[in-house]
Amino acid sequence: MTQPAVKYDVFQAIADPTRRHILQLLALRNKPISLIAENFAISRTAVVKHLTILEQAELVSAQKKGREKIYTLHVEKLKELEDWLQYFDLFWDNKLAQLQNMVEEQ
Q: Which long-range contacts (CB under 8 A, 24 or more apart) does 59-66 make?
A: 59/10, 59/13, 59/14, 59/23, 60/22, 60/23, 60/26, 65/32
pTM (predicted TM-score): 0.78
Q: Tell me the domains of the chain and their CATH numbers.
A: 10-77 (1.10.10.10)
Q: Is 78 helix (H, G, I), strand (E, B) or coil?
A: helix
Residue environment code for 26-55, b if the CB has 16+ CB neighbours within 10 A, otherwise e: beeeebebeebbeeeeeeeeebeebbebbb
pLDDT digits (tens, 9 = 90+) for 57-74: 999 999 999 999 999 999
Mean pLDDT over 82-106 rounds to: 75
